[in-house]
Amino acid sequence: MTRTLLLGVFALGGCIVPPQSNGGAAAPSAQPASYSSGGESGGESGGGAPAASAPAAPQVVSVTLHNDCPNTVPLFLGEKPGFGSGTKTSLSSNTTTSYQMKPGDMIWIIDDSENGISSTSIGGGSSQSIRIMPGCTGFGPY
């Protein structure tokens, strides 16, 4: 019986395969060698699915506004003066100021009751120069 038990132990021991040496080289990794996180090569995501592109940052337009009107002009920066959210401000005669705005933003010349007299919409591009005309009721190029 002891002999049978020893043969069983040796037989089981023979089924265990010891780890093989590969001459000191590193063990193969689970990822293929061509794997990329998508950051440097820009194309591969490693999972076979196309990499999602990051949303574009909002465009900022540097707006220069000059007042050629002989008076201080009340302004409203926003959608609708008196009704919408925005900023009420003013610009003194013969003064230039700058704003950081987005394409489509509005600048209004308003009256003392905050009613819109004239407006201009900010276009695309990196900068835009506008002036308040000498008649104080309109915008033009600067």
Helix (H, G, I), strand (E, B) or coil at 14: helix
Model confidence band, residue 99 (pLDDT cutoffs 50, 70, 90): very high
pLDDT exceeds 60 at position 71: yes
Does residue 125 lie within any of the structural domains? yes
- Amino acid, single-letter form, for residue 111: D
According to the model, what pLDDT value does residue 84 have?
72
Model confidence band, residue 85 (pLDDT cutoffs 50, 70, 90): confident
Does residue 95 lie within any of the structural domains? yes
Rounded average pLDDT over 11-29: 48
Angle at 66 between CA 61 and CA 71, to 5 degrees: 140
Does residue 4 lie within any of the structural domains? no
Residues of the chain with pLDDT > 90: what percent? Answer: 54
pLDDT exceeds 80 at position 40: no
Does residue 89 lie within any of the structural domains? yes
Does residue 87 lie within any of the structural domains? yes
Number of domains in the chain: 1
pLDDT exceeds 70 at position 28: no
Does residue 30 lie within any of the structural domains? no
Give strand pairing partners of 77: 87, 107
According to the model, what pLDDT value does residue 82 have?
83
According to the model, what pLDDT value does residue 78 have?
95
Q: Which structure tokens are listed for 49?
A: 């699915």
Q: Each residue of 92-107: b (16+ CB within 10 Å) or e?
A: eeeeeeebebeeebbb
Residue-averaged pLDDT of the chain: 76
Residues spanned by the domain of 131: 65-141
